């Protein structure tokens, strides 16, 4: 699948969840086994006036990104659901900084996918947090 077709597929996947649209989650790139989404900083997403993005907002970005990362390895998925998501924050995000989540599918079974992710606000060497997730999915027959 071409990069432009894959990008369109991920953008449709994000748009299927109105909450993702309301947050402003956007596709930022992908490779053979990873996908990255981003969230532009807006004051209404901050945890306090002048603060960085709320941890709940970041967790939502991570969930959307981890779910989409499974699509990097699968051509046809008709449904998926998050079974487990854990985000371990190591520092707060900084104010007025976009947040990026980069996820990699580490295990793909018949119906279960395991994904890990890193979150940062501009410098991948200074992560905001690390995540792991488990997804149940159904493929087209």
pLDDT digits (tens, 9 = 90+) for 75-122: 777 778 999 999 999 999 999 999 999 999 999 999 999 999 999 999
DSSP letters of 52-79?
A: -B-HHHHHHHHHHHHHHHHHHH-S-EEE
Question: Whole-structure pTM over 0.85, yes or no?
Answer: yes
pLDDT digits (tens, 9 = 90+) for 24-38: 999 999 998 899 999
**Structure confidence at residue 91 (pLDDT):** 97
The b-or-e profile of 36-64 (16+ CB within 10 A means b, else e) is bbbbebeeebbeeeeebbbeebbbbbbbb
Cα–Cα dist 36/44, whole Å? 23
- Mind listing the domains of the chain with CATH numbers? 3-139 (3.10.129.10)
């Amino acid at each position: 699948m071409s990069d432009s077709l894959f990008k369109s597929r991920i953008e449709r996947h994000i748009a299927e969840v109105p909450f993702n649209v309301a947050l402003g989650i956007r596709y930022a790139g992908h490779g053979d086994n990873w996908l990255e989404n981003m969230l532009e900083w807006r004051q209404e997403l901050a945890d306090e006036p002048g603060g960085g993005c709320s941890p709940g907002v970041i967790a939502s970005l991570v969930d959307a990104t981890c779910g989409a990362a499974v699509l990097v390895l699968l051509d046809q998925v008709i449904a998926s659901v998050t079974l487990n998501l854990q985000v371990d924050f190591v520092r707060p995000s900084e104010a007025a900084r976009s947040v990026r989540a980069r996820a990699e599918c580490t295990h793909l079974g018949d119906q279960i996918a395991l994904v890990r992710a890193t979150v940062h606000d501009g410098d991948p060497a200074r992560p905001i947090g690390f995540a792991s997730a488990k997804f149940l999915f159904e493929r087209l027959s």
